[in-house]
Amino acid sequence: MAGPDDSFERAAMARGFLRIAGVDEVGRGPLAGPVTAAAVVLDMAKLPEGLNDSKKLTARARDRLAKAIHAQAEVSVAHASVAEIDELNILRASHLAMVRAVAALDPAPDYVLIDGNMVPVGLAIAHETIVKGDARSVSVAAASIVAKTCRDAIMVDLAQQHPGYGWETNAGYPSKRHILALSEIGVTPHHRRSFKPVHNILYQDKIVNG
C-alpha cells in the first residue's frame, strides 16, 4: 500500500482553505505517562521526504523526519496529563490534547485534518476526519511523527526517574516487564490509576494493607 499523499490537503485548498493542519495523538494504550498530540501545518511545496504513519517507521527514521518537520513546518505539541486521563477517560483526554495542539498554532489554521472518525469536542475550526489518516494524509502523518517522538522522549526521561519499568523501550505500554514491575515495585505517580492493570494492583494493595 502506498504511503500518505497530499490529496486531502489539495482538496481543502481547492475549496479555499489556506492554512491546513494535520492533527494526531499518541499514547492511548500505555499504563503510564501523558497522552500527546501534535498539530502540523506543512509547506506543501517543501514536504519532508519519507513521511508515513509513525508506526510504520523505525525510530531512526522518525527522529530524522521529526527534525525535518520542525525545521520546515509549523508545529505545536500538547498533552493531557495522567490526572486528566483518570478524570475524563482516555478518549476525552486524547481529544483534549488534540484541541490544545490545534489551539497552540499561531496563526490559527482554517482547516483541520483529524486522524480517526471522531471530532474532538471544542474544535471550532472547519475540519475533516480521516480514518487511518496517518497513513493517508501527509499532514496527519507528520503530526503522528512529531507526537510519537515527543512522547517517547518524555517516557525516556521518566524512565531515568523511575527505573525498572522499561519505559525507555516500552513507552509505558503494558509489556511483560512493565506488568511485572508494577507487581514488584508498585505504582508511580505517573501511572494511570483508571487503567485496569494499575487499578488492580492498587486494589490488591488496599486489601493486603487494610
Per-residue pLDDT tens digits for 123-142 = 999 999 999 999 999 999 99
Look at residue 202 in the predicted model and tell me its pLDDT. Answer: 87
Look at residue 210 in the predicted model and tell me its pLDDT. Answer: 46
Look at residue 207 in the predicted model and tell me its pLDDT. Answer: 47
What is the DSSP secondary structure assignment for residue 47, as one 8-state letter?
P
Q: What is the pTM of this model?
A: 0.94
Q: How far is CA 206 from the centre of its chain?
A: 33
Mind listing the domains of the chain with CATH numbers?
Answer: 7-161 (3.30.420.10)
What element of type H or E holds 23? Answer: strand 20-26
What is the mean predicted confidence (pLDDT) over 51-75?
96
Which residues contribute to the annotated binding site? 24-25, 115
Q: How many CA atoms lie within 13 A of 209 on its CB side?
A: 6
**9-44 in b/e burial notation, b at 16+ Cβ within 10 A?**
beebeeeebebbbbbbbbbeebbbbbbbbbbbbbee
Question: Is residue 79 a contact partner of residue 35, using CB atoms and an 8 Å limit?
Answer: yes
CA 163 – CA 181 distance, rounded (Å): 9
Angle at 12 between CA 11 and CA 18, to 5 degrees: 135
pLDDT tens digits, 174-201: 999 999 999 999 999 999 999 999 999 8
Which residues contribute to the annotated binding site for a divalent metal cation? 24-25, 115
Strands, E assignment, 63-172: 74-80, 111-115, 127-130
pLDDT tens digits, 134-167: 999 999 999 999 999 999 999 999 999 999 999 9
pLDDT tens digits, 1-55: 578 999 999 999 999 999 999 999 999 999 999 999 999 999 999 999 999 999 9
